[in-house]
Amino acid sequence: MANPSLLILAGDGIGPEVMGQVTRIIDWFGDKRGLAFDVSEDLVGGAAYDAHGTPLHDETMARALAADAVLLGAVGGPKYDALDFSVKPERGLLRLRKEMDLFSNLRPAQCFDALADFSSLKRDVVAGLDIMIVRELTSGVYFGEPRGIFEEGNERVGINTQRYTESEIERVARSAFELARRRGNKVCSMEKANVMESGILWREVVQKIHDTEYPDVELSHMYADNGAMQLVRAPKQFDVILTDNLFGDILSDCAAMLTGSLGMLPSASLGAPDANGRPKALYEPVHGSAPDIAGQGKANPIACILSFAMALRYSFDQGDEATRLESAVEAVLASGLRTADLMGEDGGAAVSTSQMGDAILAALDASL
């Protein structure tokens, strides 16, 4: 049988640096665990724009659709700020999400014990934190029509549309309930049903899917603003948070910071399973391209590495190997090794991106 295929789109800023460490880890699993992948690389974001004048070439899109999983680094940077909206780096990422129909975005926020003191919240509020945000990723205000900047009388008006169909809500709700059953069995759904019709529909549909298909899972509803407040007040009350595209974008950054650094958080974006039970999938760190530190070897590769762990778990049915990799990361953090994002002001003894990769590889070796 052919090896499963991985398409790597390292992208911009720190993307290539952190992905460089992931490539080493992929090779390790091939050499030491007999998990060989056919790895190929291509461009996305500003890098693709520089080469082709578009943030995602049609050929790259086709390769992403054909791959068993896509690993993405990060897109964007100040160099591209002045570009027309239609060719901005972010459009490449949004096109991948949309055309691969990756409607369910899993963003786990786990606080490693060794990092509990790096959170801006008190240790006892975040220690042991383990929540999963399920963000709808292919609809809502990110894609709704009409959208644009229009002339209206003697001024301009900017318009975006929050739009959700019942079936879009149903499928992402199912994925949240399925995940909850394998975790703490609790889902909290967040919207703004107090001011938005789309929120009213969201709440109704989530409740209906719960009552008819997942009555065993504990379901609650919360307004998203209260959800943001609860996330910083008492985050451990949550297990799975289910929310829409825009609220999920915001709430997941907030949840990420609870864990000490944005450099720690992986994500999986999943579509519907194919005939072999494998979903279309894209894995990427939650952090962005961090242009301010790009090219300096300072970036934390852990979020990207943990994204590959999610790929092992959700695309390749290798949950034990995913746990092996996550435990290696945890062991390295427990040993005190830190990249600059996890240091205090002076950043004194921080290790570089590749030294962090070295340490994780050594911890993997030690796990054999």
Find the helix or strand (DSSP H, E) in which 136 lies: strand 130-136
Other CB atoms within a 10 A radius of the CB of residue 368 amount to: 7
49 as an active site residue: the answer is no
Question: Which of these is catalytic: 42, 68, 249, 341?
Answer: 249
- Phi and psi (nearest 5°) for 238? -100, 150
**93 vs 172 by CB, closer to ligand IPM:** 93
Q: Which lies closer to ligand IPM via its Cβ, residue 137 or residue 361?
A: 137
Other beta carbons less than 10 A from residue 359's beta carbon: 18
341 is catalytic: no
Which of 93, 359 has the CB closer to ligand IPM?
93
Q: Which is nearer to ligand IPM, 94 or 125 (CB)?
A: 94
Range in contact with ligand IPM (rule: CB under 6 A) among 14-22, 52-60, 89-97, 182-190: 89-97
Q: Kindly state the number of chain residues that form the binding site for ligand IPM, as judged by CB under 6 A.
A: 4
Q: Does residue 320 have an active-site annotation?
A: no
Residue closer to Mg ion, measured from CB, 127 or 262: 262
Does 99 bind ligand IPM (CB under 6 A)? Our answer is no
Q: What is the spatial distance between Cα 280 and Cα 120, in angstroms, rounded to a whole number?
A: 36
CA distance 161 to 171: 20
From the CB of 291, what's the least distance to ligand IPM, in Å? Answer: 13
Give the pair of three-digit tokens for residue 188. 């909290």
Q: Which is nearer to ligand IPM, 25 or 75 (CB)?
A: 75
Taking the C-alpha atoms of residue 4 and residue 276, their distance in angstroms, rounded to an integer, is 13
Query: Shortest approach of ligand IPM to residue 297 CB, angstroms?
Result: 23
Question: For residues 344 and 141, what is the distance between their CA atoms, to the nearest angstrom?
Answer: 37
Among 136, 168, 249, 341, binds Mg ion (CB under 5 A): 249
Whether the CB-CB separation of 305 and 29 falls below 8 Å is answered with no
User: Which pairs count as long-range contacts for 33-39, CB under 8 Å and 24+ apart, including other chains?
Assistant: 33/321, 35/312, 35/316, 35/318, 35/321, 36/3, 37/3, 37/4, 37/5, 37/6, 38/2, 38/3, 38/4, 38/5, 38/6, 39/5, 39/6, 39/8
Phi-psi category of residue 32: left, alpha or beta, with phi > 0 → left and psi -120 to 50 → alpha = alpha
Strand pairing report for 279-285 and 69-74: parallel
Instruction: Indicate which of ligand IPM, Mg ion, none lies near residue 18 (CB less than 5 to 8 Å, by partner kind).
Output: none
> Minimum Å distance from CB 254 to Mg ion?
10
CA distances from 220 to 77, 137, 242, 314 (A): 39, 21, 10, 26
Question: What gap in Å lies between CA 68 and CA 2, rounded to an integer?
Answer: 11
Binding segment for Mg ion (CB under 5 A), chosen from 153-161, 220-228, 242-250, 261-269, is: 242-250
Question: Which is closer to Mg ion, CB of 67 or CB of 106?
Answer: 106
The answer to whether 192 is a known catalytic residue is yes
Q: What mask, x for binding ligand IPM by CB under 6 A, covers residues 250 to 289?
A: ----------------------------------------
- C-alpha–C-alpha distance, residues 227 and 92, integer Å: 30
Residue 90 interacting entry, from Mg ion, ligand IPM, none, C-beta within 5 to 8 Å by type: ligand IPM
Residue from the set 6, 93, 132, 187 that interacts with ligand IPM by CB under 6 A: 93
Residue 115 contact among ligand IPM, Mg ion, none, beta carbon within 5 to 8 Å by kind: none
Among 41, 90, 130, 218, binds ligand IPM (CB under 6 A): 90
Verify cis geometry, omega within 30 degrees of 0, for the bond prior to 4: no
Which residue is catalytic, options 27, 130, 253, 358? 253
Phi-psi region of 260 (alpha: psi -120 to 50; beta: other; left: phi over 0): left
Phi-psi region of 2 (alpha: psi -120 to 50; beta: other; left: phi over 0): beta
Q: CB of residue 16 vs Mg ion: minimum separation in angstroms?
A: 20
Annotation marks residue 79 as catalytic: no
The window from 28-36, 90-98, 180-188, 347-355 that contacts ligand IPM (CB under 6 A) reads 90-98
For residue 249, state whether it binds ligand IPM (rule: CB under 6 A): yes
Binding site for ligand IPM (CB under 6 A): 90, 93-94, 249
Binding site for Mg ion (CB under 5 A): 249
Q: Would you please indicate which residues are annotated as catalytic (active-site) residues?
A: 142, 192, 225, 249, 253
